[in-house]
Amino acid sequence: MSGQAYDLFVIGGGINGCGIARDAIGRGYSVALAEMNDFASGTSSGATKLIHGGLRYLEHYEFRLVRESLMEREVLWAMAPHIIWPMRFVLPYHTGGIRPAWLIRLGLFLYDHLGGRKLLPPTAVLDMRRDPAGKPLKALFTKAFEYSDGWVDDARMVVLNARDAADRGATIMPRTKVVSARREGSLWAIDTENTETGERNSFRARMLVNAAGPWVDHVIRGAIGRNEARHVRLVQGSHIIVRKKFDDPRAYFFQNPDNRIIFAIPYEQDFTLIGTTDRDYDGDPKDVKISEEETTYLCNAASEYFKEPVRPQDIVWTYSAVRPLYDDGASKAQEATRDYVLKIEGNAGEAPLLNVFGGKLTTYRRLGEHALEKIGEAIGTKGPPWTAKSHLPGGDFPAQSYETEVGKLKSRYAFLADAHARRLVRRYGTRAAMILGDARATEDLGRNFGSDLYEAEVRYLIAQEWARTSADILWRRSKKGLYLSKDEASALEDYVKQATAQTMNA
């Protein structure tokens, strides 16, 4: 049993768990966090990767959620301008379409005025016969509405919250499963098992935070040992990645006859991301994968708009995740609330439990602030809210100064190719220099694993970002899995295993 009793023990290393841990440690609480797999290995890396108000949520009257989300867009952009940036979205329209023009105009008017837009440009109307955005689309779409939202490297946002929490003193434990949690008077007794080594440890905490995402009910039933848990509606969302369908930097918002919508978004310079689907899921979240039905749906939906159809054989990668939506009784998966619900449990004199249900990437910081309000009520308030004006690691530069940062890095490391410098700033911001160190030539970066992935970056990810497998690096810390061959990925896996073993034995 650890001698220290933490103020908070957080279960779950997705965006909500890591966000709560970071906020809490910054206020002066002592914090431990356990994640049974890698950070962002579930829902948090399986989203459409948007920092957005949620235009379609207006149809379901979720005004509180939309307003909070809209206000957060520029807050998060300022916090992490390396991994978050503005994006314009084009919503094609034609007479007799799914939604009338007046309804779209009304929605976009609310979108522009509900929530604190300062830097993002307002809505515009496009003549698609003249605008470049019309080039890849069918001639049927002569008009479009254009609006602003944001894009995020979702998995990196999670790991940077974990990194900052650790830098501030939190105990952060990936690949650590909570096997039991029981109340012992005014404290929680928590038993954990390292999923790599089998090592078991015990901890004590004044309060337990269950932010296990799709597994939140599993934790309540399993680790905590209660049988009545049924709070979450699991909704599967799948995406496909195809070779670049258009050169325009803007994304598309496509409306489908079934009233659902999909996005087509520029992705990793050479690709287009298309998604998402919405369907109820009743399996184990770890087994989720795209179905043939979903693949067909996304290809057909996109092909309704693009001149050149999207075919299954065009797909180079897919990903799926399960969204843990709060079960509000909605009849359709796409109508279930995307808002979050925080529930405190515990009688007087008992150690309290906070269960976190639902939520989305855009509102994670505000969810954290609301969670800290409840934590303060339960075990005493420590510090004031602080994250709104903070920076995630590497994001300590002005929101609109990405190009300046690229220029600085290229000036300091003149040997870097432009694309490599841009990628490093996009992934690591000002911390790119920690990777490059004293390098004066490409050869100083060590072994090349394919594309522009070098040993120096891999070692940084192992030492600073808890990477333990090639998948951690290729599909979460970066998206280099799109570029490396199977042999290159296998060689990287061998290297990571050896380097990890050396780190653990050191």
Summarize pLDDT for 126-153 with one digit per residue, the tens: 999 999 999 999 999 999 999 999 999 9
Position 248 pLDDT exceeds 80: yes
- Residue 229: pLDDT band (50, 70, 90) is low
> Could you give the CA distance from residue 476 to residue 490 in angstroms, rounded to a whole number?
17
Mean pLDDT throughout 170-198? 96
Best CA proximity match to 475, nearest among 154, 48, 11, 236: 154
Angstrom CA distances, 331 to 208, 216, 322, stand at: 32, 22, 18
Position 337 pLDDT exceeds 90: no
At 449, the amino acid letter reads F
Position 505 pLDDT exceeds 70: no
Pairing, β 31-34 against β 171-173: parallel
Mean pLDDT throughout 301-330? 92
Q: pLDDT: is 327 or 466 the higher one?
A: 466
Tokens at residue 96, please?
């007799």
Burial of 417 from C-beta contacts in 10 A (0-12 / 13-18 / 19+):
exposed
pLDDT at 222: 84
Mean pLDDT throughout 217-233? 80
> Could you give the CA distance from residue 374 to residue 380 in angstroms, rounded to a whole number?
9
Best CA proximity match to 207, nearest among 368, 369, 377, 385: 377
- CA torsion sign for 462, 84, 422, 439 is negative
> Could you give the CA distance from residue 150 to residue 157 in angstroms, rounded to a whole number?
13
Q: E strand or H helix at 299, and its extent?
A: helix 292-303
Summarize pLDDT for 21-59 with one digit per residue, the tens: 999 999 999 999 999 999 999 999 999 999 999 888 888
Position 1 pLDDT exceeds 80: no
CA–chain centroid gap for 499, Å, is 27
Three-state DSSP state, 249: coil
Position 2 pLDDT exceeds 60: no
Q: Quickly tell me which residue has 């030539």 as its tokens.
A: 441
Mean pLDDT throughout 195-218? 96
Q: What is the mean pLDDT of the chain?
A: 94
- CA torsion sign for 374, 377, 383, 389 is positive
**What does 98-119 look like in DSSP terms, one character per residue?**
SS-HHHHHHHHHHHHHSS--SS
- Residue 501: pLDDT band (50, 70, 90) is confident
Burial of 504 from C-beta contacts in 10 A (0-12 / 13-18 / 19+):
exposed
Summarize pLDDT for 355-391 with one digit per residue, the tens: 999 999 999 999 999 999 999 999 999 999 999 999 9
pLDDT at 56: 81
Which positions ≥6 away from 61 have C-beta within 8 Å? none
Position 338 pLDDT exceeds 60: yes
pLDDT at 488: 98
Mean pLDDT throughout 279-291? 94
pTM tops 0.85, yes or no:
yes
Tokens at residue 68, please?
């909070």
- CA torsion sign for 134, 140, 143, 149 is negative
- Residue 4: pLDDT band (50, 70, 90) is confident
Tell me whether the omega of the peptide bond preceding residue 318 falls within 30 degrees of 0, making it cis: no
181-190, 203-212, 331-340 — which is least confidently predicted?
Answer: 331-340
Q: What share of the chain is helix, strand, coil (3-state, %, to 5)?
A: 40, 25, 35
